[in-house]
């Protein structure tokens, strides 16, 4: 049995897709959802899915108690799905090469602190990029700078708005993220 923890901050569409993708697989279980936003719709998704939810405040999140709690869950992979906080060094050390993130751009472009969600798409449009995409990468102590695991690209048109780019990126996330997770869990 492979055990996942999914970290969220917002709507939770990637959480929903991951849960739906693995629902028929008895060898994968999402054992907890960690949220840093008590008002996130992802929290309701976790409850609807019957997945234990842990809403964390900054102090607890940066504590040894939090790390010990995650270790006690025997997690194989921590998946950041729209999670906006930097991962503490202690958590990275406790789960080496077992924490991944999905970023809505082709890293190393448009990554780092402040580049998330719509901010990324606005920057891509402002730069008149001809393509964008997603990057799944390992998490290290700096935003969006861990080793790249997977990238997928999509063509952009000169008339695309940030909302258009967001819609294209969302399709790539929904199609690819669960497959990348499965590949990491089962070393495909």
Catalytic residues: 103
3-state SS, the chain, equals: CEEEEEEECCCCHHHHHHHHHHCCCCCEEEEEEEECCCCCHHHHHHHHHCCCEEECCHHHHCCHHHHHHHHHCCCCEEEECCCCCCCCHHHHHHCCCCEEEEECCCCCCCCCCCCCHHHHHHHHHHCCCCEEEEEEEECCCCCCCCCEEEEEEEECCCCCCHHHHHHHHHHHHHHHHHHHHHHHHHCC
């Amino acid at each position: 049995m492979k055990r996942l923890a999914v970290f969220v901050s917002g709507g939770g569409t990637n959480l929903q897709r991951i849960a739906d993708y693995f629902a028929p697989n008895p060898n994968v279980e999402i054992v907890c959802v960690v949220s840093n936003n008590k008002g996130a719709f992802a929290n309701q998704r976790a409850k609807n899915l019957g997945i234990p939810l842990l809403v964390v405040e900054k102090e607890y999140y940066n504590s040894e108690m939090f790390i010990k709690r995650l270790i006690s869950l025997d997690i194989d992979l921590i998946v950041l799905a729209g999670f906006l906080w930097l991962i503490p060094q202690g958590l990275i050390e406790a789960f080496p090469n077992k924490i991944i993130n999905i970023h809505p751009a082709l890293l190393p472009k448009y990554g780092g602190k402040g580049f998330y969600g719509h901010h990324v798409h606005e920057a891509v449009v402002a730069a008149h990029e001809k393509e964008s995409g997603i990057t799944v990468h390992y998490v290290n102590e700096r935003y969006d700078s861990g080793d790249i695991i997977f990238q997928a690209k999509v063509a952009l048109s000169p008339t695309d708005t940030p909302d258009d780019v967001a819609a294209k990126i969302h399709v790539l996330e929904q199609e690819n993220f669960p497959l990348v997770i499965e590949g990491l869990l089962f070393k495909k």
